[in-house]
Amino acid sequence: MIRTKGLSKVYRMGDVKVPALVDVDIEVPEGSFVAIMGPSGSGKSTLMNLLGCLDRPTSGRYWLDGQEIATLSDNRLADIRNRSVGFVFQTFNLLPRLTALQNVELPMVYAGKSFRQRRRAAEESLERVGLAERAHHLPSQLSGGQRQRVAIARALVNRPAILLADEPTGNLDTRSGLEILGLFQEIHQTGNTIVLVTHDREVAEHVQRIFHFRDGRLERVEDVARPRQAAESLAALPPAGPAGEAQQAEAADPGEKEGRS
């Protein structure tokens, strides 16, 4: 489903060229759950932007579901971003004045769906992530984990084949992060291809394959023999008490934490 050959991205800062990705060859078969892992500055987010058709490479080739992306128009790329790829970000990217339901409806507005179609699909998507009862809450009324569930529901609402998740647990406490990883594992079991960017080894161990990056280069590919199951990790945690609730409340405000690249 995803294949790159010699994919490179160079940014210009005045007269200086800064290579962010260098000759990257990867393959992600349909139905896979993989992680792109590396320290800050390793090229993870740059690769994610290229795979999600948010940017174009400086050189190299990229095929998505058999189509070479470089040959497509800007309008076709926008259509792919809206219909074929779902995005989940570390900072949730929810519109603060819209309810959870309205945030989930947004991709269908751009896809030209009717109000009735949008409302029904958004309700179903929120139910899928376990937030049907929070549909009419604003983001400020939700915890960090609940905000990320809304963001996942929004990413799923147009039924994309691929989910791209950039540090989706980065702003969450341990329990909420494991709950989100468990949700991704459930989504993967229904047939979605998932590419997850992370700097955290414990997060990456929940996937089937890890692509290790450093300094813009793919260092190695690691197959995970026994991916960790988030449900089992959650069961091993101590019961959530007042301290855990306070930690989750703090994590609900992504503005208090710096984003990671």
pLDDT digits (tens, 9 = 90+) for 209-235: 999 999 999 999 999 999 999 999 999
Structure confidence by residue, pLDDT tens digits, 113-151:
899 999 999 999 999 999 999 999 999 999 999 999 999
The residue with tokens 């900072």 is 91
Residues sharing a CB contact under 8 Å with residue 159, sequence separation 6 or more, in sequence order: none
Average pLDDT over residues 25-33: 96
CB atoms within 10 A of CB 231: 13
> How far is it, in rounded angstroms, from Cα 183 to Cα 162?
15
Helix and strand numbers (H, E) in the chain are 9, 10
Q: pTM for the full model?
A: 0.87
CA distance linking residue 183 with residue 49, whole number of Å: 23
pLDDT per position as a tens digit, 45-60: 999 999 999 999 999 9
Residue 255 pLDDT greater than 50, yes or no: no
- Enter the CATH code of domain 2-253: 3.40.50.300
Angstrom distance (rounded) from CA 57 to CA 69: 10
CA gap 233, 175 in Å, rounded: 9
Q: Are strands 217-223 and 209-214 parallel, antiparallel or unpaired?
A: antiparallel
Beta-carbon neighbour count of residue 219 at 10 Å? 13
- Asked whether residue 205 carries a pLDDT value surpassing 90, the answer given is yes
Share the mean pLDDT of the chain: 90
For residues 135 and 56, give the distance between their C-alpha atoms in angstroms, rounded to a whole number. 36
- 256-261: long-range contacts at Cβ-Cβ below 8 A with a sequence spacing of 24 or more? 257/170, 257/171, 259/90, 259/91, 259/167, 259/170, 260/40, 260/90, 260/167, 260/170, 260/199, 261/40, 261/41, 261/44, 261/45
Residue 166 confidence (pLDDT): 94
Segment 74-100, tens digit of pLDDT:
998 988 888 899 999 999 999 999 999
Q: How far apart are the C-alpha atoms of 256 and 171, rounded to whole Å? A: 9
CA distances to 22, 90, 204, 225, 257 from 228, rounded to whole Å, are 31, 21, 9, 10, 27
Write out 27-64 in H/E/C secondary structure.
EECCCCEEEEECCCCCCHHHHHHHHCCCCCCCEEEEEE
Residue where the block lists tokens 């960790």: 228
